[in-house]
Amino acid sequence: MNNHLPTSDREVERSVNIQSQKLTPTAEKDLWDVFRTGNNSAFITIYERYFDVLYSYGYRIIKNEDLVKDAIQDVFLDVKKNCLSLGETTSIKFYLFKCLKRKIFKELKNWNNLKEELNQKDCFEITFSHEQTLIDRQIDTEKSQLINEALKKLSPRKREAIYYIYFEGMSYQEVSDLMGLSDSKSARDLVYKGLRSLRDTLGFLPLFFTVYLP
């Protein structure tokens, strides 16, 4: 560790030496709190850690590379500019997801020719892989393909809710906030409807979706 770094920089280096690590809520809060003091090292860490995640998320909303990348850059510029006045969070990813989704929808008002793309049936495409979980060892490549076909048949809203819960590990309250639902119960109901549809299509519900059911 570089002992010549200012205290705040050493704190970032110590608690957020994280490029390949999953952050605990406490570590995320610490990183965010350091960033909110105007610390540039914390900003770089956040940028490098979440840019690809944000791109993957944004591209699920609208399959337009230029729009998504522009929106992500705007989000990072906004949070850096306003870092001293930002509120607390224990989930940087959720905070940035919410900012990015809002930014994309705002940008769409200036990209009128893309509005129809947002409503396409394949919007918010998600892909299940048997390699994602070791819990259900009976899921092979062939079954994964069947699951992906069933996921494609879900409405975009159901796919989006399932994506947040199972692929991003978010809470029902966070899903509710991201999707503009009335409360966490509405988010839970949407997820359960999606799971019932999957079960009806497949004739079974993969263990992955039951073991990790929040």
Task: Give DSSP secondary structure letters for 129-144.
Answer: -GGG-SS-TT--HHHH
Q: Are 38 and 83 in contact (CB under 8 A)?
A: yes
Q: What is the CA radius of gyration of the chain?
A: 19
Four-way CATH pick for 123-211: 1.25.40.10, 3.90.1300.10, 1.10.10.10, 3.40.190.10: 1.10.10.10
Q: What's the rounded mean pLDDT across residues 79-99?
A: 95
Q: What is the pLDDT of residue 8?
A: 45
- How many whole angstroms separate alpha carbon 37 and alpha carbon 39? 6
- How many whole angstroms separate alpha carbon 123 and alpha carbon 108? 15
State which fold the 7-116 domain adopts.
Rna Polymerase Sigma Factor; Chain: A (1.10.1740)
pLDDT level of residue 113 (50, 70, 90 thresholds): low
Q: What's the rounded mean pLDDT across residues 170-192?
A: 96
